[in-house]
Amino acid sequence: MRATIAGCGGYLPETRLSNDELAALHGLETSDAWIRERTGIGFRHMAAPDQTASDLGAAAARDALARAGVAAEEVDAILVATSTPDSAFPATAVRIQAKIGATKGFAFDMAAACTGFVYALGVADSLIRAGQARCVLVIGTEVYSRILDWTDRGTCVLFGDGAGAVLLRAEENGGTREDRGILSCHLHADGRFGDILHVEGGAGSNGGAGLLRMSGKEVFRHAVTKLASVVDEALAANDMSHADVRWLVPHQANLRIIEAMGRKLHLPAERVVVTVDRHANTSAASIPLALAEACGDGRIGPGDLVVMEAIGGGLTWGAALARF
């Protein structure tokens, strides 16, 4: 039994801000050229004041269900990756379950920052392989605009809001590497580096939830080595090489990191899905949003081997290999 990707969906809030508009709105001493040169980011979307992570996630879930031709009543598990939940509890996944009209199964959240979608994909794949679920929604949804320090130009320009979703369905196959579906997921964490990318406080702390803090140079240094290593790990586990990869769908954090990973896999730029220029870093939502775009416009097609990889606060990092 293998988990196959039946549909991908995405949602971006209506408000779209350019670098110059963001700088003017928050009185930042920065420029479009400064931001683009360092990150590749030109635009980002921001949630409306009354929008929550579950609102964005529900919209992405409906899109994925529609593309898969599956009714919400068929979904028997919902896994949501988010660092910006609606509340400490109930889980954002349960809120989404109610909003889309899913009436059976179970739902829960996962917190692995920007790696959250890859983590959730790995858990969903395991649930399907074990026979505990047959139709699973995996959603990444974030409203990072709520946790940014708008006086810190080094971090606040990097992030945006959005949600992406994939619908996984159980499918019997011959057990070969040419079969459709998730081939393998590879997950890692090292808590010794937790403070280089974190949000101050939280629901269980004395001071309550705070703002995002990041040591950009340290994160970049870890990203380059750890992402290359975990992608090689995924390929080796499936007896594959860089030449087998058709598409790279990376976490959309920084264009320089994305380009470095493309070179590592010997992929031309046109086979690396890039949305960071238009979406900024949407954390756990970035990979499913990129998948939804590339599947929606026909770039990713049947038989294509796709590598997904991400690194985030924790530190957490991981990669997933899938054939569409």
Known catalytic residues are 114, 251, 281
The H or E element spanning position 255 is: helix 255-264
Give, rounded to a whole angstrom, the gap between the first and last alpha carbons of the chain.
15
Angle at Cα 265 formed by Cα 260 and Cα 270, nearest 5°? 80
User: Are residues 185 and 233 in contact, defined by beta-carbon separation less than 8 angstroms?
Assistant: no
Token pair of 316 as six digits = 């957490």
Say which residue the tokens 């159980």 belong to.
170
Token pair of 184 as six digits = 């393998």
Distance CA 306, CA 294 (A): 11
Task: Report H helices in 160-265.
Answer: 216-237, 255-264
Distance CA 279, CA 139 (A): 17
> Exposed/middle/buried for 26, CB within 10 Å: 0-12, 13-18, 19+?
middle
> Exposed/middle/buried for 279, CB within 10 Å: 0-12, 13-18, 19+?
buried
Distance CA 160, CA 143 (A): 7
- Backbone φ and ψ for 209, nearest 5 degrees, come out as -70, 145
CB atoms under 10 Å from CB of 184, counted, come to 15
Token pair of 36 as six digits = 């683009």
The H or E element spanning position 167 is: strand 161-171
